[in-house]
Amino acid sequence: LIIFILSTFFVHRNKPKEDKGRVYYLALVGALILLGAIIFITSTGYFVDYVRSKKTPLVLYNSTLRLSPDSGTFNSDFDSNVSVVVDTGEEKVNAFNVGLSFDPNSIRVEDILIENSICDEMLEKSIDNKSGKLRVACIIKSPGYIGRRGNLADVVFKIKKHGQIGLIFDDDSAVLANDGLGTNVLRAT
């Protein structure tokens, strides 16, 4: 609109009186074409963005693995334990493969207890105190499990050295959906 007003003013000022009517008409047609082009380009851009956002669905997996308690103070005179817990979000899950790494100079893993586990069958339960690794793999029969605070196993350990100690989930840990494809739905550890 500002460009139209300025161009009309400058063109109008330099033209003889008999050409002024035609200048207004041409300026008005030019401004309408320009305005139509701007509206068309803007609308097309919004439409393309809308179609793109509707075309590609966003899949978000919500299962998480965590330790409970996630931190604490433990006495070296007694055995301590932490639970490996799954929160599934809204997915039905039926298989778990959990690897944990730890400093073998700081703790010694004594046992992996499965009495309180939600799993129906334990496939692997291994402890390697030399390399500082433990692994738990188990399955749940169909239709699977949906829920929060699903206990997979309890890790019993003995403190060897005072200080800060960490149990870290391995990158190959997985929570598999009961979808017939074994989709790994683990979002975070």
Percent residues over pLDDT 70 in the chain: 77
Whether 14 shows a pLDDT value over 70: the answer reads no
Q: What is the mean pLDDT of the chain?
A: 83
| 29-38, 94-103, 114-123: the lowest-pLDDT one | 29-38
pLDDT band at 65 (very low <50, low <70, confident <90, very high): very high
On the CB side of 49, how many CA atoms lie within 13 Å of its CA? 6
Mean pLDDT of 26-51: 74
Per-residue pLDDT of 111-160, as tens digits, reads: 999 999 999 999 999 999 999 999 999 999 988 888 888 899 999 999 98
pLDDT at position 107 over 80: yes
Q: What is the DSSP string of 97-131?
A: EEEEEE-TTTEEEEEEE-TT-S-SEEEEEEEETTT
**What is the pLDDT at residue 24?**
67
In whole angstroms, give the CA distance from residue 48 to residue 61.
Answer: 27
CB 186 within 8 A of CB 64: yes
Tell me what pLDDT residue 182 has.
81
| pLDDT confidence of residue 23 | 64
